[in-house]
Structure 1
Amino acid sequence: MSAAALFLLTLGCLCREAAAGRKLIYVTVLFRHGDRSPVKAFPTDPHQESDWPQGFGQLTQEGMRQHLLLGQFLRLRYRGFLSESYDRREISVRSTDYDRTLMSAEANLAGLYPPAGQQVFTTDLKWQPIPVHTVPMSEERLLLFPLGDCPRYKQLMNETEHTEEFINVTTTYQDIIKLVNNKTGLNQTVETVWSVYDTLFCESRHNMTAPDWVTPDVMEKLRLLKDFGFQVMFGFHKRQEKSRLQGGILLGEIVKNLSKMAVPDPEQRLKMTMLSAHDTTVSALQLSLDVFNGRQPPYAACQIFELYRDDNGSVSVSLAYRNDSAVDAYPLQLPGCSLDCPLEDFVRITKLSISEDRDKECQLPVEGRDKEVIISLAVAGSLILFLIIFLLGVICWQQEPSTSQGYRQVINKEAGEES
């Protein structure tokens, strides 16, 4: 980091602290992992998994450097707030259970807490182990989106695909999608073509030669479709309801922690919660806040929540986003609030994107359920009626000769009794 950049960053930190006599009391940071290898290759790709030292989906050395720099940035931004040396009671770190996110968190912490003094356990290694917590992917409910366990969300996605704008985008880019499918041997759609862009993007960052059909124009169109895909998943159509079923889960946890940390507690030592996740995690959260800029969060992008207490005791929340390692994080304004948003207003505004009972909201609307029930009953009733008619037909066919003779006997008997 240059001397000029360091000076500006330090000056920015001092200005934030001095503003209105505010005191920083708690921080949450959510970041995307660093540069990685592709998650997969397409069938005709000249570069396959063997071309990557650690295989698919793994953090590269460039990704490690990106997070080392981000950790150093956080060290400078929170100088005087976080202790100079690592204190396990001051920071809590959680990651999704992927190699690239776990390693990104570790590289970040290496920049945030370089060992000094008693924390140096060997003189030839300027690093110290710091715990990073996770849960199995099958149990991840906080940091990995979109979650696929929600019928209502699936219904919303189906509605999205039938909107006029979605159909227009599909029509506009049908030629590029057809080209991609012909050249890759895949069957991509507007929603899935991002995977081809991702593979080509990763390869281009590591100076691998692209196939002849991959021109700058093709890459730009694929980039636009990729960004559109993030909007489709978490916004675009009924954004707030999608948020309640996806990114609002994480937002709700963050708001709960902010509210808890706003209550003075002399026993409370926690100062920072660090979350290591993915581009979809950052996008889902930003769309639940309605501050998404429409672009895929780049590697090591970092969404920041800062909780301040003023001299008069009031508490406020400030948002910042760092999506370029060459510059400081820039402020984000929550729609309907000021840059320094009073906590009570922050809670009130974000409540619209947070579900109090997600399991209930994930169920299909009553109208949809009634329609499904009616259809099911109609089909079942038709099958039963057909079965009854069929059985009666079989019975009548088997008993027709004897039934005719028996009927005459009964009539004769009754006639005799009546006479």
Structure 2
Amino acid sequence: MLQHWELGQALRQRYSSFLNTSYHRQEIYVRSTDFDRTLMSAEANLAGLFPPSEVQRFSANISWQPIPVHTVPVTEDRLLKFPLGPCPRYEQLQNETRQTPEYQNKSIQNAQFLDMVANETGLTNLTLETIWNVYDTLFCEQTHGLLLPPWASPQTVQRLSHLKDFSFLFLFGIHEQVQKARLQGGVLLAQILKNLTQMATTSQFPKLLVYSAHDTTLVALQMALNVYNGKQAPYASCHIFELYREDNGNFSVEMYFRNDSKKAPWPLILPGCPHRCPLQDFLRLTESVIPKDWQKECQLASDTADTGDTLIPEKIRVTRKTCHSPATSTSLPAYVG
């Protein structure tokens, strides 16, 4: 919770000249997945972002301003809880991924290691896709200063970390990354791009949109954008989208990734565009990973053969273009963390 409170403070400092110093309901909208930890993270974050002004303090002894966090039941969440499903076409792509040389080789190379971990933990049916549970538990215990079991040597924990990273790649990459993105991270990206477009066309839209979710949410989004660094995001990471109105009236997008509390957020560059990417170019370059009809694209080919569905592109088409970025007049941030 402290990490998210500090993230809120960092965002307050970053946007001190943009956001109101006190909470205004018209300025911000927050949505979380329906898990205790993500809801609590959002609340801690907001406590750091919007410390109450004197008139907002309902008690002299409580320096806290309640701010609403919206959610939907897990069974209805088709935006933030990844991988999204049920989606037969995605499951078909995952089965195809299991047959790739990369997956097969990784499975063979780690068979004995997985057996060892299964014996030590008492878990059954440990695979490349489920081993992340073991790493998450050990990482959490280590972070809280607890003593790890003797078998969990630094080398073992490091190997588990690599396998967790591989499990993320399995979910959203390795095989047919663009098609997977259309069924997964592209869904969230589509909503974010819709938000940015609405921000550019109306002054009534909130200044700040916040999504509080999971590491898999960040991976799905960043794989769709083709900016994922291949490593698990640490606690309280956030992917930031900033919308700028240029002097000529056009809009541009900048992305940042905050994954280290001791450093400024890293600039992220969408392939095919400069860091300050014109909004229309951003929309064009990401079009191939945005689903036209998620429900339809989730159907198997045999189920859609007679429906005239649009063919899903297999590769991202990247067009390199020099873009001019005039001085900033307004920025409109949105972030996922």
- Do Structure 1 and Structure 2 share a fold, with TM-score over 0.5? yes
Please tell me whether residue 262 in structure 1 is matched to residue 213 in structure 2: no
Please tell me whether residue 210 in structure 1 is matched to residue 132 in structure 2: no
Q: What do the CA deviations read for 1:26-65 (whole angstroms, capped 9, x no partner)? A: xxxxxxxxxxxxxxxxxxxxxxxxxxxxxxxxxxxxxx10
Q: Greater relative contact order: 1 or 2 (C-alpha under 8 angstroms, separation 6 or more)?
A: 1
Q: What do the CA deviations read for 1:308-360 (whole angstroms, capped 9, x no partner)? A: 01111111000000001111111000001110000010001111111011111
Please tell me whether residue 303 in structure 1 is matched to residue 210 in structure 2: no
Q: CA deviation at 1:367?
A: 9.3
Please tell me whether residue 179 in structure 1 is matched to residue 116 in structure 2: yes
Q: Which residue does 2:326 correspond to in 1?
A: none
**Distance of 2:122 and 2:54 partners within structure 1:** 58
Q: Which residue does 1:109 correspond to in 2?
A: 46
Q: Which residue does 2:73 correspond to in 1?
A: 136
**Distance of 1:359 and 1:349 partners within structure 2:** 23
> How do residues 24-35 of structure 1 correspond to structure 2 at under 5 angstroms?
none
The count of residues paired between Structure 1 and Structure 2 equals 305
- Unaligned 5+ runs, structure 2: 307-337
Please tell me whether residue 356 in structure 1 is matched to residue 292 in structure 2: yes
Q: Which residue does 1:146 correspond to in 2?
A: 83
Q: What do the CA deviations read for 1:93-130 (whole angstroms, capped 9, x no partner)? A: 11111110111111001000001121111111111111
> How do residues 278-293 of structure 1 correspond to structure 2 at under 5 angstroms?
278-293=214-229
Per the alignment, in what secondary structure is the counterpart of residue 331 of structure 1?
strand
Q: What do the CA deviations read for 1:131-188 (whole angstroms, capped 9, x no partner)? A: 1111111111111000231000000000000000111111111121111111112220
**Distance of 2:238 and 2:264 partners within structure 1:** 11
Q: Which residue does 2:327 correspond to in 1?
A: none
Which stretches of structure 1, 4 residues or more, deviate above 4 A after TM superposition?
A: 367-370
**Distance of 2:251 and 2:144 partners within structure 1:** 46
**Distance of 2:240 and 2:276 partners within structure 1:** 13
Q: Which residue does 2:283 correspond to in 1?
A: 347
TM-score by length of 1: 0.71
Q: CA deviation at 1:273?
A: 0.2
**Distance of 1:256 and 1:148 partners within structure 2:** 22
Please tell me whether residue 327 in structure 1 is matched to residue 267 in structure 2: no
Please tell me whether residue 231 in structure 1 is matched to residue 169 in structure 2: yes
**Distance of 1:81 and 1:212 partners within structure 2:** 51
Summarize the Cα distance change of 1:80–1:367 in structure 2 as closer, same or farther, 3 Å threshold. Answer: closer
Contact 2:199–2:205 (CA<8 Å) still a contact in 1? no
Q: Which residue does 1:86 correspond to in 2?
A: 23
Q: Which residue does 1:414 correspond to in 2?
A: none
Q: Of Structure 1 and Structure 2, which has the larger fraction of its residues in helix?
A: 1
Identity across the alignment (%): 56
**Distance of 1:110 and 1:252 partners within structure 2:** 29
Per the alignment, in what secondary structure is the counterpart of residue 320 of structure 1?
strand
Q: CA deviation at 1:269?
A: 5.1
Per the alignment, in what secondary structure is the counterpart of residue 261 of structure 1?
helix
Summarize the Cα distance change of 1:83–1:349 in structure 2 as closer, same or farther, 3 Å threshold. Answer: same
For the aligned residue pairs, the C-alpha RMSD in angstroms reads 1.4
Q: What do the CA deviations read for 1:249-273 (whole angstroms, capped 9, x no partner)? A: 100000011111111x34x151000
Contact 2:38–2:213 (CA<8 Å) still a contact in 1? yes
- Matched to 1:308, the amino acid is Y
Contact 2:178–2:289 (CA<8 Å) still a contact in 1? yes
**Distance of 2:205 and 2:75 partners within structure 1:** 31
> How do residues 9-24 of structure 1 correspond to structure 2 at under 5 angstroms?
none
Summarize the Cα distance change of 1:121–1:215 in structure 2 as closer, same or farther, 3 Å threshold. Answer: same
**Distance of 2:59 and 2:293 partners within structure 1:** 50
| Bigger-Rg structure (1/2) | 1
**Distance of 1:366 and 1:206 partners within structure 2:** 50
Contact 2:172–2:184 (CA<8 Å) still a contact in 1? yes
Q: What do the CA deviations read for 1:201-235 (whole angstroms, capped 9, x no partner)? A: 11111222222211111111111000000011011
Per the alignment, in what secondary structure is the counterpart of residue 105 of structure 1?
helix
